Structure formats: structure tokens, C-alpha cells
Amino acid sequence: MKDPFALFGMEPRPWINSELLREAFSERAAACHPDSNPESDAAARFLELNAAYQTLKDPVTRLRCLVELSGTIPQQEQKEVTSVPQELIALFAEIAPIKAGLGNFLNQRSAAKSPLSLALLRHEEQKVKTEIAIMEKRLLCEWESSQSSLHTLDEHWLERSPALINSANELATKMRFLQKWMASLKLDSLPSTHPLPL
């Protein structure tokens, strides 16, 4: 694996200043963009730079990259964990019925053919939106807690002990689940059921 940190002249760390990363990307992208750079490998270098930027700007992929670069955990043991981390199991148990309720509501709404049947769904819509809003706040609190853990991990990163590498791997898994859950509960997937005026 190529070191994406090296492409930006950055030290491999769990936490990165997003503004500095963006500036480094813009500077390097302008220099190697195929539209402004006539060299034959400019497009390949630009794609490589863009892939490195995408890896580093997301804390989950950045942590996974650090774990892989450390060489401490064999690559086959780094495979995506599909089970919910222990500390999130209670939260998962609360999210599942909310997602099911959202799915049921969306099915009812798509089956509604008249303004009257849409109007009858308003109460259910409000109930689902309220449940989602409450859960989104809880997920954001967990995300902020994870960001705090990321900063703590960064403070001790130079040690690079096996326990620290393992913590990075576990934090990446936790953050990946939080990202996935937050995306699945986005309110933009829930437009209003208010009927259009005639």
C-alpha cells in the first residue's frame, strides 16, 4: 500500500487538521492536474492524489490506513467487521425499530394515491421524524465522543504499541457503524406528505 500521508508530506497520525489537508490537496492537485500538466503520467498521479485525499479526509479510512501501514495487524485480520461493537449494541437495538418504522412509513406513503390518504399519514410522519431527530442527536453525541477518542489516540500515537494499533482498529469500526447509521436516518429521505394544492 502506498502511504497517502507521504503524498501530502504529512506525518501518519490519527487526527489531521482538515483545513491543512484541503490546502495540501489543492496545491498538489493544481500542480498535477491533467488539464494543466502535460506530463504523460499527470492523470495517474492526479487520481492517486485524489484517492489519498479521500482516504485521509475520512477518519474511518484514515484509521484503517494507519493500522495497515503499521503492519501490526495482518491484513487478513483487518477485514471489515460486520458485527456491531459491544459498546454500541444497546444503541443498535434502539435504531433497528426506528429504521423499521421509517421503512414501513415510506412503504405506506408510496402506496398512498390520494391527497386524503397522504393527509392521514401526517401524524405517522411526525412520529417518525421525531424518533429520527432524537436518535440523530444521540448518534451525534457518540460521534463527538469518537472524535474525542481520536484526539486522545493522536496524542499517544508516537508510541505505536500493539494496544494502540488495536484501539485505532476498534475506533475505526465504531466510527464506521456510526457513519452508516447516521446516513441511513437522514431526514432528506423523508419528504413531507403534505398534498399538493389543487
Query: Same structural domain for residues 72 and 110?
Result: no
Count of domains for the chain:
2
Under 8 Å between Cβ of 138 and 178: no
Q: What percent of the chain is modeled with pLDDT above 70?
A: 88
Domain boundary among 16, 43, 78: 78
Q: How crowded is residue 88: how many other Cβ atoms within 10 Å of its Cβ?
A: 17
**Enclosing domain of residue 18:** 4-78
Query: Same structural domain for residues 106 and 184?
Result: yes
Tell me: pLDDT of 194 over 70: no
Query: Same structural domain for residues 65 and 105?
Result: no
Confidence of residue 73 (pLDDT cuts 50, 70, 90): low
Tell me: pLDDT of 110 over 50: yes
d(C-alpha 20, C-alpha 55), whole Å: 15
Confidence of residue 130 (pLDDT cuts 50, 70, 90): very high
Who wins on pLDDT, 61 or 82?
Answer: 61
Query: Same structural domain for residues 33 and 110?
Result: no
Q: Give me the chain's average pLDDT, please.
A: 85
Tell me: pLDDT of 197 over 70: no
Who wins on pLDDT, 16 or 190?
Answer: 16
d(C-alpha 192, C-alpha 188), whole Å: 10
Q: What is the CATH number of the domain that holds 18?
A: 1.10.287.110
Domain boundary among 57, 78, 99: 78
In a domain, 183, yes or no: yes
- Among residues 183, 189, 182, 194, which one has the least CA distance to residue 106? 189
Query: Same structural domain for residues 38 and 115?
Result: no
Counts of helices then strands in the chain (DSSP H, E): 8, 0
Query: Same structural domain for residues 90 and 13?
Result: no
In a domain, 134, yes or no: yes
Average pLDDT of the segment spanning 143-147: 95
Average pLDDT of the segment spanning 8-18: 92
In a domain, 198, yes or no: no
